[in-house]
A and B are shown apart, each in its own frame.
Chain A
Amino acid sequence: MNKKEQDIVQKLREKTNDIELPEKLAPERIQRTLEGSAKKRKISPLYIGTVAATCFAVIAGAAVYQNSRICGSMTGEAKKEIEEISSSKIVESAENYDEVYTYLDSYKREIERQQAREEKMMSEGAADLSSAAASTEESAEREIAQNADMATEDSGAALALNAEEQKAGDYSETNVRQEGVDEGDIVKTDGTYLYVLRDNGNEIAVVDTRENDMKKVSTISVEDCGGIWEFYLNPEKKRLVLICSGTKQGLLGDEMYRKSDFYQDQSFTEAITYNIEDPEKPEEEGRITQSGYYQSSRMADGYLYLFSNYYISMGAMERKNPETYVPLINDAVIAEKDICLPPVSSASMYTVVTAADIDNPSEIKDSKAILSKDGQLYVSGKNIYYYETAWSYFMSQESQRTTLRRIAYKDGVLEPGAQGVIDGYIHDSFSIDEYDDYLRVVVTDGNTNAVYVLNMELETVGSIENLAKDERVYSARLMGDTGYFVTFRETDPLFSVDLSNPEKPEIIGTLKIPGFSDYLHPYGTGKLLGIGMNVDEETMITDGVKLSMFDISDPSDVREEDTFIMKNVYSTDASYDYKAVLADAGRNLIGFAGYTEGGQKYYIFEYDKEAGFCCRMEEEINGNGMQSTRGVYIEETLYVVQGNIIEAYSLKEYTKVDDIIL
């Protein structure tokens, strides 16, 4: 902004300075309103509970050139936005930086041309863009809403076909999406010590739990790391890996930077590995770093896979300087051949993935920079699937196409593989699952739903389309040869799909029940646990958390064996954070935190075929932090962790035995 413009802005500020604020908006009033509103939600089948919440992954102001909106013609007729999707069957790698630059530059020019067109329209007096813009704007709004819907952390859970086979271990592990692939969390245990991310986000507290007498024995704190997001614990190798992410210090508050429109994304993600052979004296072993904000991570066979999102600032690109448009790993520009070119023409960011051996934690074993528009990921036991959705709108009909890219991984080596495309969008990573060299996907496409089966070349080999019109997928669980998914409108149809013949997937059952489940978890042989909400069928208002136990011993005749409605509980973290769920069929234990009028409470349920759900414990949670509550057990003790408070309960008497403030 030039001086004159700044003066006008200043003038506007001064002239609005004395505006009286309505009493209704006073913070105390708002607090009371919110306390009341959280208890009941009005459910609309397609766009649930979201006006337009967009999740700001990178806030610092990266120049994100996204969603090139092509306005309608001068007559105001809505024009179909067509995004070219590459027909390439493989993930293509860049040959040199120049190729990447040329790609980005051509997208930048396209944006500029479009801008020029818009400006021309404006200057020719076609000021009424409203009808043309209305559809695009509306769709942009929806896209935001949908993206927000999907923005919840990807992926989900152990594919325990037969949970009885899972031994009732001595201690609980993080509830993960894919069996055998670990995920970071905020609380972990090795059976003796609890490791807890403190609420300040900068420290891990190590707590000795022996003799039911919790003692804090050490603290791992890191400085200049931007903040700890999650961590891993590897008890065999005696390693703890912190995942940190932030923006380089000194820049954020800097005036020059604030004013600069040619700001370059300064965010970074770091993995810091500690040796915890002596948990009382953790020692740093090494760290790796990469550009971009933390997106997600996995750990398999002693290798860490770290994902971050790096936004390109198109204004700052210089052809001769790859560091202005290519992310860094361990402070060096990522190699040309490791850049995966996008299937679409409007990519403006990278998802950077690096792999590191935790025995050699300063070295990046392999890396890839996936150039994209913004995608999500699902990690199977062998492959990373990166998927992104292109949205288009025509005559107020919306449709989506999702491109998928597969990158195989093994022992820290990343191997780009196939690329493919399907119609529709993927609700969350429980809706996408690899099994026996086939990828099965449940999608919502416009106002219908579909199931696709793809081979490892990501070619569709089987499909079921036009399912559940005017509904959308709420949750899914694909377990070996059978898949289950829930769509919702007024009642909750639970679909069972036979996936045993990849070329002929078949719907073999539907069960309609009131309410919906937004989290599904296999619970022992022939049982599927659903956690969701009960919905009053007349008013369509949620009136409490609902637990369902489905008998799936005959997938073509699924029955709801028992339900339990918690009238006084208006939501649970399970709906959006699967890591907050403690479910262990071997021990017959279902644990989660629920929100009640009296605050947050932790619940433990047991399930019996005859007696149904039985609530064994309902205890107030006294901690108060930014993250959702975790319940972990070690032998016969349950630890409920919230904020900086750990409360311990006996799993025999369900009475409180200890607590500690970290």
Chain B
Amino acid sequence: MRCDAKTFAEMYEQIYTDLYRFALCLMKNHQEAEDAVSEAVISAYENIYKLRREEAFKSWLFTILSNVCKKRLKSTAKEMPCPDEELFSEASVHEDQGLALDVKNAFFILTEEEQMIVGLSVFGGYNSSEIGTMLKLNANTVRSKRSRALAKMECILR
């Protein structure tokens, strides 16, 4: 589809709170989340002509954002030799803007893929087939992983 910055911003307005919350839960840091959303938005805008239907805008942006987060997490992981411990301690020290500590910790104990699946369920409102399409997993896998992830999170959420 063809779309100028104004139209794009209007479509973006409908979904950006969910996009940011999704990114924040994955990146655990407001600056990182902000950067991820910006990068995803610019990439989406440059490629908007590849999108054929306006209805698909939301899933499309969520898919791009998941990939951006994945990429950024990977490069963060490379910088830290012992990612899990470091992140955990960092998490408990800094009270980050907005994200409740128990929510943050609940996401921390998940694998990256589980975080994506839970994030897309919570903030995107997608079902397992849709998430499967976005993450290139099959729907049954998504279901079992989601179920396991939520069970783990339940122990931490207050």
Asked if B26 lies at the interface with its beta carbon under 8 angstroms from chain A, I say no
In the complex, the answer to whether B74 meets A25 with C-beta atoms within 8 Å is: no
A55/B50 contact (C-beta < 8 A), A19-B24, A27-B9 known: yes
CB-CB under 8 A for A27 and B10, given A51-B67, A63-B132, A148-B50: yes
Contact of B144 (CB < 8 Å), options: A50, A119, A314, A573:
A119
B129 near A263: Cβ-Cβ < 8 Å: yes
A137 close to B (CB within 8 Å): yes
Closest to A35 in B: B5
Q: Give every chain A residue within 8 A of B99 (Cβ-Cβ).
A: 16, 19
Which residues of chain A are near B56, meaning CB under 8 Å?
56, 59
Chain A neighbourhood of B118, CB < 8 A: 9, 12
A85 within 8 A of B: no
Complex interface residues of chain B between 1 and 56 (CB less than 8 A to chain A) = 1-6, 8-10, 12-13, 16-17, 20-21, 24-25, 30, 34, 37-47, 49-56
* B100-141 interface bits toward A, Cβ cutoff 8 Å, 1 = contact, 0 = none: 101100100001000000100111001111101110101111
> In the complex, are the beta carbons of A50 and B9 less than 8 A apart?
no
**Cβ contact within 8 Å between B50 and A141:** no
- Picked from B71, B77, B134, B143, the residue with its CB within 8 Å of the CB of A51 is B71
Decide: A261 and B127 in contact? CB cutoff 8 A: yes
Q: Which residue of A lies closest to B43 (CB)?
A: A51
Residue of A22, A62, A599 most packed against chain B (CB within 10 A):
A22
Partner of A64, one of B6, B63, B102, B132: B132
A21→B129 contact, CB < 8 A: no
Asked if A261 and B43 sit within 8 Å, CB to CB, the answer is no
B87 close to chain A: CB less than 8 A: no
Identify A61's interface contact among B12, B52, B126, CB under 8 A. Answer: B126
B96 to chain A, nearest CB (A): 10
In this complex, what residue of A is CB-closest to B17?
Answer: A21
B68 cross-chain contacts in A, Cβ below 8 A: 51-52
Knowing A16-B99, A27-B16, the reply to whether A577 touches B49 (Cβ < 8 A) is yes
Known contacts A35-B5, A37-B45, A261-B143; A25 and B20 CB within 8 A of each other = yes
Question: What number of residue pairs across chains A and B have CB atoms under 8 A from each other?
Answer: 219
Q: Is B52 within 8 A of A55, CB to CB?
A: yes
Given A21-B20, A41-B46, A61-B129; A12-B30 close (CB under 8 Å): no
Inter-subunit contact A27/B12 (CB<8 Å): yes
Q: Which of B24, B59, B130, B154 has the most CB of A within 10 A?
A: B130
For the complex, is B98 an interface residue (Cβ under 8 Å from A)? yes
Contacts known (A119-B144, A148-B47); A573 close to B2, Cβ less than 8 A: yes
Chain A interface, number of residues (Cβ within 8 angstroms): 82
Q: Does A65 reach chain B (CB closer than 8 Å)?
A: yes
Q: Are A59 and B59 in contact (CB under 8 A)?
A: yes
Provide the bound-state CA to CA distance between A54 and B134, in Å. 9
- Chain A neighbourhood of B122, CB < 8 A: 9, 12-13, 16
A115 and B20 form a contact (CB under 8 A):
no
Contacts A115-B138, A313-B129, A626-B54 given; does A53 touch B154 at CB 8 Å: no
Choose one: B9, B38, B146; the contact of A24 (CB below 8 Å): B38
Is the CB of A11 closer than 8 A to any CB of chain B? yes
Q: Is A625 an interface residue (CB 8 A)?
A: yes
Given contacts A38-B45, A51-B39, contact A59 B55 (CB under 8 A): yes
CB of B54 within 8 A of CB of A50, answer no
Decide if A479 is an interface residue (CB 8 Å cutoff): no
- Chain B residue at smallest Cβ distance from A260: B127
18 A–B contacts, CB within 8 A, in A order: A1-B121, A5-B147, A8-B157, A12-B157, A20-B97, A20-B98, A22-B20, A27-B13, A30-B16, A33-B42, A37-B46, A50-B43, A54-B60, A54-B134, A61-B130, A148-B47, A263-B129, A625-B2
A30-B41, A59-B53, A130-B74 given; 6 more Cβ-contact pairs under 8 Å: A15-B100, A25-B16, A49-B43, A115-B141, A148-B50, A261-B143
Which residue numbers of A lie inside 8 Å of B, CB to CB? Answer: 1, 4-5, 8-9, 11-13, 15-16, 18-22, 24-25, 27-28, 30-35, 37-38, 41, 49-59, 61-67, 69, 111-112, 115, 118-119, 122, 127, 129-130, 134, 137-138, 140-141, 144, 148, 151-152, 258-261, 263, 313-315, 573, 576-577, 599, 624-628
A-binding residues in B (CB < 8 A): 1-6, 8-10, 12-13, 16-17, 20-21, 24-25, 30, 34, 37-47, 49-56, 59-60, 63-64, 67-68, 70-71, 74, 77, 97-100, 102-103, 106, 111, 118, 121-123, 126-130, 132-134, 136, 138-141, 143-144, 146-147, 150, 153-154, 157
